[in-house]
Structure 1
Amino acid sequence: MSLSRDDLLKVSLEILHAAKEPALRYFRTALQVSDKEDESPVTVGDRETEKALRAEIKRRFPDHGVIGEEFGADNPDAEYVWIVDPVDGTKSFISGMPLFGTLLGLLHQGRPIVGTIGMPALGEDFAGAVNGHSVMNGAVISCRETQNLHAAFVSCNELPSLFTTHPQLVSELTSRARYLRPSNDCYPYAQLAAGWVDAVVDCNLQPYDYLPLVGVIEGAGGVITDWSGAPLTLHSDGRVIAAATAELHAEMVALFKNSV
């Protein structure tokens, strides 16, 4: 495949747009909610959105692999593999909150190269490329230039879980950050890329939750890794730090290193 990063961004957004109808059609309707083996909820909106994404990917790139939340892996050893989370934030989706998103990323030889965060109910799409740029609804965006926690607005996903498992870490983060706000799911990463917050802390994620974020954050000039500062891969442990600058990221990794 000889597409440039800009071409891949364009294609990723086209695939995302081609598959947004199911989520919008079922949003704020009387949905039957089922529980998966891990007790997380799933709906027909999740499944139909992923089916639509897979069909569009297969139509355009029949030799590419796909790894999705709802239907698993298809040709995962291919040179190019798409990562799909059809409804990131199903609890938001089923409760009528518009902060659910659709995540779509592309790996080349196992490394993230582009990613998208689609927010169907908000009418917002974020896309970015590693070693490229990021956009929101077509306009170039970038992270803020905040370099230390004392000046940073930090969004903390899974805060109740972190309170239980790492209370001292939460206490340190609360005392150091200018603002610490509980948050959920993918939208805080879009806020980071757009320059509205300075950092995001997360845990308990799966590859389809975090790999599509890499292109969006790095294209906007930010840094996103696991808690130890290592690049995110299919085999990462699901704990994520994303920050607006390398300096802020380094300070956060130093704070988190004793919890890894």
Structure 2
Amino acid sequence: MPVSQADIALSLRLADAAGEVIRPYFRAEHGVEIKDDQSPVTRADREAEAAMRRLLDAERSGDGVVGEEYGEKPGVTGRQWVIDPIDGTRSFTVGRAIFGTLIALIEDGWPVLGVIDQPVQRERWLGVAGRDTLFNGRPARTRACPSIEGAIVATTSPHLFADGDVPHFMALVRAASKGAPRQGPVYGGDCYNYGLLASGHLDLVCESGLKLYDFAALVPVVEGAGGRMCDWNGDPLTATSEGHVLAIGDPARTDEALEALRDTDGHSHHDH
């Protein structure tokens, strides 16, 4: 069923609820701990996700919920809300306002609604399948990129990449920085980079090892702004994608970007 005005309104209320929890903890005592997978978590992550789940339980009790901190709740409607209270906890813990709350609605495996919310700067991207992406209520557009040479590439950190994936990323960086090799890529940013790409400030974002709650919300935002999101083989991102993510502001650069990713040593990227 198509995304309703009620779905959109709920997604924005979810973002509001998370932001209310997160803001008081920013650059304040947040009780950071390291989880079993070595990633950080704070009271802000846990309390913000709990606040969103309370709203979803009250208003969409039949829908499934997938969240970073509290796992998966099965549903009966074929719809899932996928939430990440703080995407970019590391940035949050060091006082950088480039983290975001991610909220996605997935229907039959396909992301149909996505919110990227930066609660400190109060910046919000809303993407809905078949509609223009909005940034704080106004249409957002990706920018044209005439050539892969000179494209601005962003990633959170190659240290987060799955084993064996860094050379592919470096090959993409090489292709993009032929004209300006000293510039290099933009590092840090998590979900915020995808908002910046949707608003026309970056050309490519490339990441590996993302989970569904890391990328689901990004897809409608980027695509509704005129960009394209796919995995490193060029396939669309769905609930079964394995975490290789490429966002392209100008879809005309898709083939060049995918080719560059494969071009580490003449071997193409293999499926994991």
TM value normalised by structure 1: 0.92
Give yes or no for contact 1:83–1:211 (8 Å, CA) kept in 2: yes
| Structure 2 residue 151 is matched with structure 1 residue 152 | yes
- Which stretch of the first structure deviates more once superposed, 150-159 or 64-73? 150-159
Match of 2:201 in 1: 196
| Structure 2 residue 217 is matched with structure 1 residue 212 | yes
More helix by share: 1
Give the Cα separation in 1 of the matches to 2:43 and 2:13.
Answer: 22
Give yes or no for contact 2:99–2:191 (8 Å, CA) kept in 1: yes
Identity %: 34
Call closer, same or farther: CA 1:37–1:171 in 2, change over 3 Å: closer
| Structure 2 residue 118 is matched with structure 1 residue 119 | yes
Give the Cα separation in 1 of the matches to 2:143 and 2:260.
Answer: 21
Match of 1:81 in 2: 80
Q: How many pairs are equivalent?
A: 259
SS in 1 for 2:149: helix
Tell me by how many angstroms 1:169 deviates: 3.0
Give the Cα separation in 2 of the matches to 1:46 and 1:75.
Answer: 21
Call closer, same or farther: CA 1:77–1:245 in 2, change over 3 Å: farther
Give yes or no for contact 1:89–1:101 (8 Å, CA) kept in 2: yes
Tell me by how many angstroms 1:2 deviates: 6.3
Give yes or no for contact 2:66–2:213 (8 Å, CA) kept in 1: yes
Give yes or no for contact 1:101–1:120 (8 Å, CA) kept in 2: yes
Give the Cα separation in 1 of the matches to 2:197 and 2:235.
Answer: 19
Call closer, same or farther: CA 1:247–1:97 in 2, change over 3 Å: same
Deviations 1:174-202 (A, max 9, x none): 33214522233111000000111111011
Give the Cα separation in 2 of the matches to 1:65 and 1:166.
Answer: 32
Call closer, same or farther: CA 1:181–1:78 in 2, change over 3 Å: same
Give the Cα separation in 2 of the matches to 1:100 and 1:167.
Answer: 23
Give yes or no for contact 2:62–2:76 (8 Å, CA) kept in 1: no
Deviations 1:101-139 (A, max 9, x none): 100000011110010000011110111112211011111
SS in 2 for 1:172: helix
Deviations 1:142-195 (A, max 9, x none): 111214311411112322455973454344323321452223311100000011
- Where in structure 2 are the equivalents of 1:12-23 lying within 5 Å? 12-23=11-22
Give yes or no for contact 1:211–1:233 (8 Å, CA) kept in 2: yes
Tell me by how many angstroms 1:234 deviates: 2.1
Give the Cα separation in 1 of the matches to 2:170 and 2:87.
Answer: 28
Gaps of 5+ in 2: 178-182, 263-267
Give yes or no for contact 1:128–1:134 (8 Å, CA) kept in 2: yes
- Which stretch of the first structure deviates more once superposed, 113-122 or 30-39? 30-39
Give yes or no for contact 1:158–1:203 (8 Å, CA) kept in 2: no
More strand by share: 1
Call closer, same or farther: CA 1:70–1:170 in 2, change over 3 Å: closer
- Where in structure 2 are the equivalents of 1:86-97 lying within 5 Å? 86-97=85-96
Match of 1:61 in 2: 60
SS in 2 for 1:165: coil
SS in 2 for 1:142: coil
RMSD: 2.0
Give yes or no for contact 1:156–1:183 (8 Å, CA) kept in 2: yes
Give yes or no for contact 1:81–1:108 (8 Å, CA) kept in 2: yes
SS in 1 for 2:209: coil
- Where in structure 2 are the equivalents of 1:1-260 lying within 5 Å? 3-4=3-4, 8-76=7-75, 78-161=77-160, 165-166=164-165, 168-178=167-177, 180-257=185-262, 258-260=268-270
TM value normalised by structure 2: 0.88
